[in-house]
Amino acid sequence: MPINRDELRTLVRMPPADDRPPTLAVRDETVGDGIRRQRVSLEQSGTAIAGTLLLPASASAPSPAILYCHAHGNRYDIGAAELMDGRPALQDPPYGPLLAERGFAVLCIDMPGFGTRQTEGTESALAKAALWRGQTLFGAMLGELTAALDALAAHRAVDPARIATLGISMGATHAYWLAALDDRIAACAHLCAFADIGPLIDSGDHDLHGIYMTVPGLLEHGDMGDVAALVAPRPQLVASGLKDPLTPPEALNPALSRLRQAYESQGASDALTVLTSSDTGHEETPEMRETVVGFLERALEASGGQR
């Protein structure tokens, strides 16, 4: 029996929904090149998480939106700054300005231990404390991204029917897990992370992942291919480099096989886009960049109106 959404929420220890809706408080704003750049704080129940929200300055109707999930790369100093500044594994220009110039609203927040939140503790300390408390760092991250989705969907400048997730590496894992758990995600695009964990454990390559990505008991119910399958029939883009140690063929192929079966079983094979680069590793290629942008434009146009 395939894993279901309720089982996933239990395994990852998703925190319960807060009674008070989260808000995006604007700390400052600059306008230029047709983009409103806001330094924001995601606020809920006394907590405040720093982030950046980009809005098309001249939009006359609610815009499609991207919840951008930042990467790991052992660069705890970057966090949500990736949206505006990029990172070595990504092509130029950074995704934030590129997508905003094309009419998307884009939000990214710092994950625990990253960017402005390094003072909260190291990834290792945060993950261990969570496990001792019967929680997981991964679940906490997904809970915060869900709050960001709540706030983004409620924003008057955003069309809540046209929100996608996007990310590379850790951000990719967040992007498809959140889409698997929440139907409000109309589409998701993820780069350089999708692979079954079981084969990675067999080879020892699972230890290349950060400790944040620990979901106790997941392999008793399924694997990453089964998680991403819960996104079907919504549009999904998977991009991988075959020389990436995190997505070797022996871990990528079985995950892709079950993912394709899920889309085929729902008559939605055309909604799944798979792109593999035979000669690159853990990095975005120019072809990936072009494919991601085209995918998001098509998927979100099809999800509810015209820009």
Q: pLDDT tens digits for 201-225?
A: 999 999 999 999 999 999 999 999 9
User: What is the average pLDDT across 84-88?
Assistant: 97
In a domain, 66, yes or no: yes
In a domain, 307, yes or no: no
In a domain, 101, yes or no: yes
CATH code at position 183: 3.40.50.1820
Q: What is the CA radius of gyration of the chain?
A: 18
Q: Hey, what are 179's tokens? A: 């889409």
Q: Long-range contacts for 245-250 (Cβ within 8 Å, ≥24 apart)?
A: 245/205, 245/208, 245/281, 245/282, 246/169, 246/192, 246/193, 246/195, 246/200, 246/205, 246/208, 246/209, 246/282, 247/192, 247/193, 247/194, 247/195, 248/195, 248/199, 248/200, 248/203, 248/205, 250/199, 250/203
Q: Indicate whether 227 pLDDT > 90.
A: yes
Q: Are 229 and 258 in contact (CB under 8 A)?
A: yes
CA atoms within 13 A on the CB side of 45: 8
In a domain, 91, yes or no: yes
Residues 6+ apart with CB under 8 A from 19: none
DSSP calls for 37-102: EEEEEEEETTEEEEEEEEEETT-SSPEEEEEEE---TT-TTTGGGHHHH--TTSPSSPHHHHHHHT
Rounded to 5°, angle at Cα 255 from 254 and 261: 90
First to last CA, the chain: 40
- Which has the minimum average pLDDT: 80-89, 100-109, 294-303? 294-303
Specify the pLDDT at position 41.
97
Residue 59 binned pLDDT confidence (cut-offs 50, 70, 90): confident
Q: pLDDT digit string (tens) for 228-282?
A: 999 999 999 999 999 999 999 999 999 999 999 999 999 999 999 999 999 999 9
Domain housing 55: 5-302
In a domain, 275, yes or no: yes
Closest C-alpha among 95, 138, 287, 103 to residue 224: 138
Q: Indicate whether 306 pLDDT > 70.
A: no
User: What is the average pLDDT across 114-125?
Assistant: 97
- Number of separate domains in the chain: 1
3-class secondary-structure state, position 236: strand
Q: Does 16 or 95 have the greater pLDDT score?
A: 95
Specify the pLDDT at position 106.
98
Q: Indicate whether 67 pLDDT > 80.
A: yes
Specify the pLDDT at position 291.
98
Q: Hey, what are 238's tokens? A: 């998977």
Q: pLDDT digit string (tens) for 14-55?
A: 998 888 899 999 999 999 989 999 999 999 888 999 999 999
In a domain, 27, yes or no: yes
User: What is the average pLDDT across 175-185?
Assistant: 98
Specify the pLDDT at position 303.
45
User: What is the average pLDDT across 183-209?
Assistant: 97
In a domain, 130, yes or no: yes
Q: Indicate whether 304 pLDDT > 70.
A: no
In a domain, 293, yes or no: yes
**pTM summary value:** 0.96
